[in-house]
Amino acid sequence: MSNDIRAVCVIGWPVEHSRSPLIHNFWIGQHAIAGEYRREAVSPEEFPAFVKELALRGYAGANVTIPHKEVAMTLSVPDDRAEAVGAANTLWFEGDTLRSTNTDVEGFLANLDQMAPGWDRGLDGAIVLGAGGAARAIVFGLLSRGVKTIRVANRTFTRAQSLRDRFGDKVKPVAWDEVGGLLAGAGLLVNTTSLGMNGQPALDLRLEDLPKSAVVADIVYSPLVTPLLKEAKDLGLRRADGLGMLLHQAVRGFSLWFGVTPEVTPELRAMVEADLVKPKPE
């Protein structure tokens, strides 16, 4: 490997589906950086050793995806954000120290800022569907913007309760089948579950009761327009899609590794969109 090339990778298991190489290599080209962003398929058993040897392997940093985000945090020095969320998706070196952060938080917020400016002004109540790692990042982000009440609904109620235990009483766990009755009081509805993803059933939820000023966000980006976002569009509601969050969450990693803050442009979005709709070989 040439020493003048700055290499970064995304580590996952599996990792073929990751669009991060597309995004980062687009920015590397745009900024004429001597860099390369690769995929590394690493099993859970091999992951700790791989991370310990990251610099030896010639990497200046990495993204971490499923199923490694929780373990990544324990192998590095997390920032406050990764610690609060309990998961890290971005690794970088500060001197010899391997640091980690969670860029889903700002990815979610920056996407809403771009797609629905002013979304958080006077926002009293939000509903978050799901209680996994993505939900933790989003709840943390919403609290940081001063949202007063965040109702978390999850198929497995105890996981919703554990978000309240982690983040405090502004988080209210609610039963999965109560959500329909709570829509009228919500200024923001966020889906963090896998429902609506290609190959999965759609969410069973009608949105008519949401206030006309409400914003609907989905973290699913395949399909680009989930059934939830389609219904929100038909009702004339403002929306923030999963692809936008994916693009925005990549910004900080790039700037940590390469020292340039890249932009989420329509051109970048169009390039990733084209890849998402491309038929995949079996």
Residue nearest to ligand ATR (CB): 132
> Minimum CB separation from ligand ATR for residue 160, in Å?
8
Nearer to ligand ATR, 111 or 193 (CB): 193
Six token digits for residue 112: 């809403």
Quick one: which segment of 4-12, 37-45, 107-115, 133-141 binds ligand ATR (CB under 6 A)?
133-141
Nearer to ligand ATR, 91 or 135 (CB): 135
Among 130, 187, 242, 262, binds ligand ATR (CB under 6 A): 130
Q: Are 193 and 159 in contact (CB under 8 A)?
A: no
CA–CA dist 48, 74 (Å, integer)? 9
- Give, as one character, the DSSP assignment of residue 156: S
- Total residues interacting with ligand ATR, rule: CB under 6 A: 14
> Minimum CB separation from ligand ATR for residue 245, in Å?
12
Pick from 225, 277, 280, 274: which is nearest to 26 by CA? 274
Among 72, 131, 189, 190, binds ligand ATR (CB under 6 A): 131
31 binds ligand ATR (CB under 6 A): no
Q: Which of residues 137-166 bind ligand ATR (CB under 6 A)?
A: 154-156, 159
Helix (H) or strand (E) holding 105: helix 104-115
Which residue in 69, 212, 230, 233 is the catalytic one?
A: 69
Among 21, 35, 133, 187, binds ligand ATR (CB under 6 A): 133
86 binds ligand ATR (CB under 6 A): no
Among 15, 23, 54, 135, binds ligand ATR (CB under 6 A): 135
SS3 181: helix
Q: Which of residues 179-198 bind ligand ATR (CB under 6 A)?
A: 192-195
Pick from 203, 199, 207, 193: which is nearest to 227 by CA? 203
- Give, as one character, the DSSP assignment of residue 152: E
44 binds ligand ATR (CB under 6 A): no
Q: Is 148 a catalytic residue?
A: no
Q: Is 155 exposed, middle or buried (0-12, 13-18, 19+ CB in 10 A)?
A: middle
CA–CA dist 241, 234 (Å, integer)? 15
128 binds ligand ATR (CB under 6 A): no
Pick from 258, 262, 212, 202: which is nearest to 232 by CA? 212
SS3 208: coil
CA–CA dist 220, 207 (Å, integer)? 18
Question: Catalytic site residues?
Answer: 69
Residues found near ligand ATR in the complex (CB under 6 A): 130-135, 154-156, 159, 192-195
